[in-house]
Amino acid sequence: MKGWFNNLFQGRQGMDELSKSMFWWGLACLVMSLLLAALLNGVLSAPFSWIGLLLIILCFVRAFSRQLGQREMENRAYLAFWERRRRQFEMRKERFRQRKDFRFFKCPGCGTILRVPRGKGKIHINCRCGYVLYRRT
């Protein structure tokens, strides 16, 4: 039995981060459909159950897929998407911590976030791209 199970996953992707998140989101949709069926007499229950089943089926299709390169590219894109979101959140959190000492401006030329000290009056701010901003701090 153990050998059969090992042969089943030979040369297959297995559960990567994207598959795991699809599984948990599918499970959450199924639970949501059960709650909606119980609380609201089935209103919106069917779409949530179909979405949940679809996500769980896609999760296992990905896990048993032999197209390793394509599944790895999908997983890499998924991880890069969430890494960008995490980085943006950390940056906003840091800006929130520094809000009493610094003002933050966005350069209209290149989109860079510029940090200047508060309480300096009207100043001109030079961006690396060469754009000059005149702002009150």
Query: pLDDT tens-digit profile of 27-85?
Result: 999 999 988 888 877 777 888 899 999 999 999 899 888 888 898 999 999 999 999 99
Q: Return all residues near 45 (Cβ < 8 A) that are at least 6 apart.
A: 33, 34, 36, 37
**pLDDT score at 36:** 85
State how many domains the chain has: 2
User: Is the same domain home to 28 and 39?
Assistant: yes
- Tell me which residue of 136, 101, 134 sits closest to 121, measured CA to CA: 136
| pLDDT > 80? residue 11 | no
Between CA 36 and CA 115 the distance in angstroms is 47
Contact 97, 113 (CB under 8 A): no
User: Is the same domain home to 56 and 114?
Assistant: no
127, two tokens = 């961006």
User: Is the same domain home to 14 and 24?
Assistant: yes
Average pLDDT over residues 119-136: 89
**pLDDT score at 17:** 92
User: Is the same domain home to 78 and 128?
Assistant: no
User: Is the same domain home to 78 and 123?
Assistant: no
User: Is the same domain home to 125 and 77?
Assistant: no
Stated pTM of the model: 0.69
User: Is the same domain home to 35 and 60?
Assistant: yes
Range of the domain at 129: 98-137
